[in-house]
C-alpha cells in the first residue's frame, strides 16, 4: 500500500467526516440532522465518511468495508460485543453523556469502560489512517470520539483536523469529577479547531483549560500542552426551507388531518424526543398536571401528545425512565380523564420525518423542555413546520442551546412546573398577530443559520486556522 505521505495531493482539500455511526445516503433522513448536513457537504465536494457500521461482529475485520455512493466513499467498521459494551454503552453513554449533561448522579466511572473507549478510538483511527491523503480536511463529530485526533497524530497525521461537540460542554467542577479528565482535555489539543454549540460551551471549555492547565488565551485561540487550537461556537441549524416544504407534503397533510380529526377546537400540545432523562419529560408531564390543576378551562380541551421512542434501551437508566413515564402518565390520566378525553397521549415509537412534520403543524403548541441540551433540533423543526398564516407557539426551555437563538419563543425554566403551566396558558390564548410576529422572527433566524451555513462556517474556519498553523510568521503558529 502506498504510504499516505507519498500520495499525490488532490487539487482542493477532500472532506473526511468521522462520526460514531455512518448512515447510508439512502436512509439519510432517518439518520437525523447530522447525517443530512454531512451528506450534503460530501455530495458537493466528494469525500469520505468513516465510522462504525452499526453492526456487532464476533470477529470484526481490522480493515474498513468500503462502498461508493456517487462522489461519496463510505468506510465502515464493525465492533465486537465487548467493544460496543465498553466504548458505546459504557464510557460514551453511561459516563460522558450524563456527566456532560450535569447528571453526576447517573454517571458511571468504570476504568474498563474507559480503556475500551480509548482502544476503540485507537483502532478506528488506525483503520482510517491508510485511507487518508496528505491534504485532507478531517472533521470528527461528537463525544464518542474525543481522543480521535490524538490517536491519528500518534500515527503522524499532519492534516487539518476539526472537532464538533454536539452536546454541551460541562462546568469545570463536573468535568474534573471524571478520573480521566486530564488525558481527555490533553487529547482535545490535538485538534486545530474545536466547535461548540453555544458561546457558553466555549466559555466553559476555556475556563477549564485556564483553571486546570494554565492555558493562555488570545482571541479565539487557546494554548496548552505545547499546542494551540481555536475554540468557537457554531450553533447547528436544520434545513429549514426543506422542512417547511415537507410539512405540506401529502404524507404530512394526511397526518395533520389525523391529529385534527375528532379534536375540534381542542389544543394539541406536542412533545417529540428520544426517550432520554435529559429531555425533562417527567417534568413536562408534571407541568401539564399543573396546567390542569390551575386552569379548569383546560379540562376536556387540552391534550399533550408525547412522542418518545425508546433509545439506548440496553442502558439501565433508560429502562428506568421509561417505567417512570408510564407511571406518571397513568396517574395523571387516571385523575383527569373523561369518557371521551385523556390529557396525555404517550406514543413510544419513532415516526417518519413527514409524519412528524404533519403532527408539528397540527399542534397549537410545541413544548420543548429539556433539562439540558446541546442544541435541540425539535424546537427548530416545530417552527419550520408551522403555517406562517396561522402558526403555533413554541414553549422552549432556557437550558436548550437553541434558546440562545430563539428568544421569540416563550422561554421557560423546565423545573418550574407553575411557570411552564402559565406559559402554556399564555400560548393557548396568544392573539394571531403576536403568533405571526414571533413565528416570522424565529423563521428568519432558522433560514439565516441553517444546516449549510453551519457546515460552511465550520469548514472555512478549519481551513483558516490550519493555514495559520502552517505559516511560521503567524502569531498563531503552533507553539511546539
* Residue closer to ligand ADP, measured from CB, 157 or 275: 275
Where are any strands of DSSP class E within 405-463?
Answer: 410-412
Q: Least distance to ligand ADP from the beta carbon of 35, Å?
A: 10
Give the cell for residue 466.
Answer: 490550519
Instruction: Choose among 180, 235, 186, 248: nearest CA to 215.
Output: 186
Largest CA distance in the chain: 77
114 versus 163: smaller Cβ distance to ligand ADP: 163
Question: Which residues are CB-contacts of 387 (< 8 A; sequence separation ≥ 6)?
Answer: 361
Q: How far apart are CA 48 and CA 131, in angstroms?
A: 9
Cβ closest to ligand ADP, residue 120 vs residue 272? 272
| Residues binding ligand ADP (CB under 6 A) | 32-33, 272-274, 307, 309, 350-351, 356, 375-378, 381
Which residue is associated with the grid cell 419529560? 281
Nearest Cα to 240, choosing from 440, 14, 20?
440
Closest separation between CB of residue 68 and ligand ADP, Å?
A: 27
What gap in Å lies between CA 214 and CA 224, rounded to an integer?
Answer: 7
Give the helix/strand (H/E) hosting 300: none
- Active site amino acids: 166, 373
In the complex, the smallest distance separating the C-beta of residue 24 from ligand ADP, rounded to whole angstroms, is 18
Least CB distance from residue 52 to ligand ADP, whole Å? Answer: 17
When the beta carbons of 307 and 427 are compared against ligand ADP, the nearer one is 307
Nearer to ligand ADP, 132 or 272 (CB): 272
CB 308 within 8 Å of CB 281: yes
Q: How far is the CB of 399 from ligand ADP (least distance, A)?
A: 13
* Burial class, 436, CB count within 10 angstroms (exposed 0-12 / middle 13-18 / buried 19+): middle
Q: What's the min distance (Å) between Cβ of 352 and ligand ADP?
A: 7
Contacts of 472 (CB under 8 A, 6+ apart): none
C-alpha cell at 416: 418550574
176 backbone dihedrals φ, ψ, rounded to 5°: -75, -5
Query: Which of 209/272 has CB closer to ligand ADP?
Result: 272
Amino acid at each position: 500500500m502506498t504510504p499516505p505521505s507519498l500520495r499525490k495531493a488532490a487539487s482542493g482539500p477532500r472532506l473526511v467526516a468521522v462520526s460514531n455511526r455512518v448512515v447510508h445516503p439512502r436512509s439519510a433522513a432517518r439518520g437525523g440532522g447530522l447525517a443530512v448536513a454531512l451528506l450534503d457537504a460530501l455530495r458537493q465536494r466528494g469525500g469520505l465518511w468513516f465510522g462504525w457500521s452499526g453492526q456487532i461482529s464476533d470477529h470484526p475485520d481490522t480493515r474498513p468495508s468500503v462502498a461508493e455512493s456517487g462522489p461519496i466513499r463510505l468506510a465502515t467498521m464493525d465492533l465486537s460485543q465487548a467493544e460496543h459494551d465498553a466504548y458505546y454503552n459504557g464510557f460514551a453513554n453511561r459516563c460522558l453523556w450524563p456527566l456532560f449533561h450535569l447528571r453526576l448522579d447517573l454517571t458511571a466511572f468504570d476504568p474498563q469502560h474507559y480503556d475500551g473507549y480509548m482502544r476503540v478510538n485507537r483502532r478506528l483511527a488506525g483503520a482510517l489512517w491508510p485511507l487518508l491523503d496528505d491534504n485532507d480536511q478531517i472533521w470528527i463529530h461528537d463525544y464518542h470520539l474525543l481522543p480521535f485526533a490524538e490517536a491519528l497524530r500518534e500515527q503522524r497525521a499532519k492534516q487539518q483536523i476539526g472537532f464538533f461537540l454536539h452536546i454541551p460542554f460541562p462546568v469545570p467542577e463536573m468535568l474534573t469529577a471524571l478520573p480521566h479528565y486530564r488525558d481527555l482535555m490533553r487529547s482535545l489539543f490535538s485538534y486545530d479547531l474545536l466547535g461548540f454549540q453555544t458561546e457558553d460551551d466555549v466559555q466553559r471549555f476555556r475556563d477549564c483549560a485556564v483553571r486546570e492547565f494554565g492555558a493562555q488565551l488570545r482571541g479565539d485561540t487557546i494554548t496548552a500542552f505545547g499546542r494551540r487550537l481555536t475554540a468557537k461556537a457554531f450553533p447547528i441549524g436544520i434545513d429549514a426551507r426543506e422542512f417547511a416544504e415537507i410539512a405540506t407534503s401529502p404524507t404530512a397533510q394526511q397526518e395533520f388531518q389525523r391529529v385534527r380529526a375528532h379534536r375540534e377546537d381542542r389544543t394539541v400540545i406536542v412533545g417529540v424526543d428520544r426517550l432520554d432523562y435529559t429531555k425533562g419529560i417527567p417534568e413536562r408531564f408534571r407541568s401539564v398536571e399543573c396546567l390542569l390543576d390551575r386552569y379548569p378551562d383546560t379540562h376536556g380541551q387540552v391534550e399533550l401528545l408525547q412522542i418518545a421512542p425508546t433509545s439506548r434501551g440496553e442502558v439501565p437508566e433508560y429502562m428506568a425512565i421509561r417505567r417512570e413515564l408510564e407511571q406518571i402518565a397513568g396517574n395523571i390520566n387516571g385523575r383527569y380523564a373523561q369518557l371521551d378525553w385523556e390529557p396525555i397521549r404517550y406514543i413510544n415509537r419513532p415516526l417518519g420525518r413527514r409524519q412528524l412534520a404533519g403532527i408539528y403543524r397540527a399542534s397549537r403548541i410545541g413544548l420543548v423542555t429539556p433539562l439540558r441540551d446541546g442544541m435541540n433540533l425539535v424546537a427548530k423543526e416545530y417552527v419550520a413546520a408551522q403555517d406562517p398564516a396561522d402558526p403555533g407557539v413554541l414553549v422552549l426551555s432556557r437550558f436548550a442551546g437553541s434558546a440562545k437563538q430563539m428568544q421569540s419563543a416563550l422561554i421557560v425554566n423546565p423545573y418550574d412546573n407553575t411557570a411552564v403551566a402559565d406559559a402554556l396558558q399564555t400560548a393557548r390564548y396568544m392573539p394571531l398577530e403576536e403568533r405571526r410576529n414571533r413565528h416570522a422572527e424565529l423563521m428568519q433566524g432558522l433560514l439565516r443559520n441553517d444546516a449549510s451555513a453551519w457546515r460552511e462556517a465550520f469548514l472555512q474556519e478549519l481551513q483558516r486556522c490550519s493555514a495559520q498553523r502552517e505559516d511560521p510568521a503567524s502569531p498563531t503558529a503552533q507553539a511546539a
